[in-house]
Amino acid sequence: MDFESFRAEVKRVVSGDKVIESRGELMLYSYDASPAESAIPRMVIQPETTNEVSEVIKLANEYLIPIVPSSGRTSLHGGPIPYNGAVVLDLMRMNKVLEVNLEDSYVHVEVGVRLDELNAELARHGHFFPPDPASSAAATVGGSLANGAGGMRGAKYGTVKDWVLGAEVVLPTGEPVFMGCRTLKCRAGYDLLSLVIGSEGTLGVITNAYLKIWPLPEAIVRLRVYFRDVVDAARAVGMIKARGFRPLIVEFLDRGTMEAVSGYVKEFTYPRDSEAMLIIDLDGPPEAMKRYIDSMVNILKGAGGYEIEWTGDKDEMDRIYMARRAAYPALLRLFSGMRVMPEDISVPPSRLPEAVKGIGSIASKYGLKIVTWGHVGDGNLHPNIIYNPNDQSSVSKLYSVSRELGLMAINLGGTVSSEHGIGVLKKDLLTSELEVKGIAQLRLMKAIKKVFDPNNILNPGKVIDID
């Protein structure tokens, strides 16, 4: 590894203003949104074109310099942290919406575009890109593709992997290739694009993508309902789906979440005998909405729901959603001086009642507070573990709780990672999941990594370890 030669070559490939080496600026790239240990990169490079990305990666492969792709840095499991003297490839300058094609129902976009900015542009054309992680104001197209992001609308529209037609990918050798197609039907050999989506920058660097887009809903109605038992709230989700409804969103907030929000947003109040709340969005033709609402209210009442409120007014919808939007900052404020570890598990919706009971049991077992919300329409729960980073006992319990939550999800037929990725914090749990599903998959994953990246330069040490 000859870093000085690499450094000199890089500065011949990209201009000096695209290379960051001052310690103060490098510090900004040493962490993400997770509690994973930070690490300062040796250099940050900010390319503006696929050709610049290609040339930089080609040099990194030649000089065996580890490269970590980065954009919005909203990862919750340490994915973009540059360990072992890595160089960060900051893709935020690649931030153009290149084409909106309504005839072919796609948008061609560079990876540094933030999701909210993308949807603001698409809204001008009466369309949207459905995947909506909670960090959409900061999260980028590239980070979302690399992590296989989901969000609230996943119950109806799936995750980003369901919305990618094709993408330009720079391989670890520096070779740019176009994976996928610009057509809905595309079966040209092995589906390599699906390997790259969700690979957390370990198999290739996506520089631009063709994303499917969808017409904006004609009408949306938002409902809010309370439950006196978290199990009843969880059971309601399966009842909704069994009746044939596919809501746009079904968001779950437990009592701990509501308590945190009520102390953070003075306008938010909730019944003191409630243990959980669901926020449900229904979309469809305006003439059908009353029928949808009546049917949904009957289902919710049958599940034990009460104080059911609904509205189609945008301001009122925002008021209802305020509790969900404020949940994370409210938690950080309530537990100032502590830290919050957001977990990310999924179970089949029919197993949600067992999952919410299990979360409570695990919290009691270890004496750590867990506050839970989630996108329960697709079985995705986010138990947030509150711990003291300055107390070794608390930190030890944190990792025990995280492991038990993951094992519970696996035992219920679910997964340890729904949309946040594996990064560095969930590698052991990934192995545990694969031991249940077939450990041969881990061998195949390692083989795939070696085929794509024989020198192990792209985001090494993330997702899986190479022997």
Helix (H, G, I), strand (E, B) or coil at 454: coil
Residue 442 lies in a domain: no
**Beta carbons of 140 and 97 less than 8 angstroms apart:** no
- In the 8-state DSSP scheme, what is residue 350? G
Amino acid identity at 303: A
Q: Do residue 236 and residue 298 come from a single domain?
A: yes
**Beta carbons of 384 and 342 less than 8 angstroms apart:** yes
**Beta carbons of 38 and 46 less than 8 angstroms apart:** no
Expressed as residue numbers, the domain containing 122 is: 97-215
Length of the chain as a residue count: 467
Query: Residues 438, 441, 447, CA angle at the centre, nearest 5°?
Result: 155
Residue 453 lies in a domain: no
> Where does a domain end: 274, 297, 329?
329
Q: Is 304 left (phi over 0), alpha (psi -120 to 50) or beta?
A: left
Give the integer Cα–Cα distance in Å for 168 and 63: 24
Task: Give the count of beta carbons closer than 10 Å to the beta carbon of residue 265.
Answer: 15
Q: What are phi and psi of 118, to 5 degrees?
A: -60, -45
CA dihedral 240, 246, 249, 251 (to 10 degrees): 20
pLDDT at 135: 81
Closest Cα to residue 420, out of 172, 103, 149, 109? 149
Helix (H, G, I), strand (E, B) or coil at 249: strand
DSSP string, 287-311: GGHHHHHHHHHHHHHHTT-EEEEEE
Q: Do residue 124 and residue 209 come from a single domain?
A: yes
The domain that holds 28 is classified in CATH as 3.30.43.10
pLDDT at 336: 83
Q: Do residue 298 and residue 353 come from a single domain?
A: no
Both structure tokens of 417: 């990672």
Q: Do residue 187 and residue 297 come from a single domain?
A: no
> Where does a domain end: 176, 198, 215?
215
Closest Cα to residue 161, out of 212, 115, 124, 125? 212
Give the integer Cα–Cα distance in Å for 463 and 295: 44
Give the integer Cα–Cα distance in Å for 348 and 325: 25
- In the 8-state DSSP scheme, what is residue 376? G
Helix (H, G, I), strand (E, B) or coil at 384: strand
Give the integer Cα–Cα distance in Å for 166 and 182: 6
Q: Do residue 354 and residue 369 come from a single domain?
A: yes
Number of domains comprising the chain: 4
Give the integer Cα–Cα distance in Å for 198 and 148: 4
Q: Do residue 244 and residue 317 come from a single domain?
A: yes
Residue 448 lies in a domain: no
Q: How far is CA 363 from the centre of its chain?
A: 24
The domain that holds 129 is classified in CATH as 3.30.465.10
Closest Cα to residue 195, out of 152, 245, 145, 231? 145
Q: Do residue 325 and residue 363 come from a single domain?
A: no
Residue 440 lies in a domain: no
Q: Do residue 34 and residue 18 come from a single domain?
A: yes
Q: Do residue 51 and residue 135 come from a single domain?
A: no
In 21-71, which ranges are E strands? 43-45, 67-70
The domain that holds 314 is classified in CATH as 3.30.70.2190
Residue 443 lies in a domain: no
Residue 449 lies in a domain: no
In 306-392, which ranges are E strands? 306-311, 339-342, 345-346, 370-375, 380-387
> Where does a domain end: 268, 296, 329?
329
Task: Give the count of beta carbons closer than 10 Å to the beta carbon of residue 170.
Answer: 26
Q: Do residue 112 and residue 148 come from a single domain?
A: yes
Q: Do residue 200 and residue 230 come from a single domain?
A: no
Give the integer Cα–Cα distance in Å for 156 and 163: 12
Give the integer Cα–Cα distance in Å for 108 and 69: 20
Give the integer Cα–Cα distance in Å for 72 and 308: 37
Give the integer Cα–Cα distance in Å for 425 and 427: 6
What is the pairing mode between strands 380-387 and 339-342?
antiparallel
Residue 118 lies in a domain: yes
Cα distances (angstroms) measured from residue 201 to each of 62, 165, 172, 207, 418 = 18, 18, 10, 11, 17
Helix (H, G, I), strand (E, B) or coil at 24: helix
The domain that holds 383 is classified in CATH as 3.30.70.2740
Residue 458 lies in a domain: no
Each residue's pLDDT, cut to its tens digit, for the chain (467 residues) gives: 799 999 999 999 998 899 999 999 999 999 888 878 889 999 999 999 999 999 999 999 999 999 999 987 877 788 899 999 999 999 999 999 999 999 999 999 999 999 999 999 999 999 999 998 888 888 999 999 999 998 889 989 999 999 999 999 999 999 999 999 999 999 889 999 999 999 999 999 999 999 999 999 999 999 999 999 999 999 999 999 999 999 999 999 999 999 999 999 988 999 999 999 999 999 999 999 999 999 999 999 999 999 999 999 999 999 999 899 899 899 989 988 899 998 999 999 999 999 999 999 999 999 999 999 999 999 999 999 999 999 999 999 998 999 999 999 999 999 999 888 899 989 998 999 999 999 999 999 999 999 999 999 999 999 999 87
Both structure tokens of 321: 């959603």
- In the 8-state DSSP scheme, what is residue 151? B
Query: Residues 311, 317, 318, CA angle at the centre, nearest 5°?
Result: 165
**Beta carbons of 323 and 252 less than 8 angstroms apart:** no
Give the integer Cα–Cα distance in Å for 234 and 354: 9
Q: Do residue 363 and residue 306 come from a single domain?
A: no
Closest Cα to residue 275, out of 319, 322, 323, 231? 231
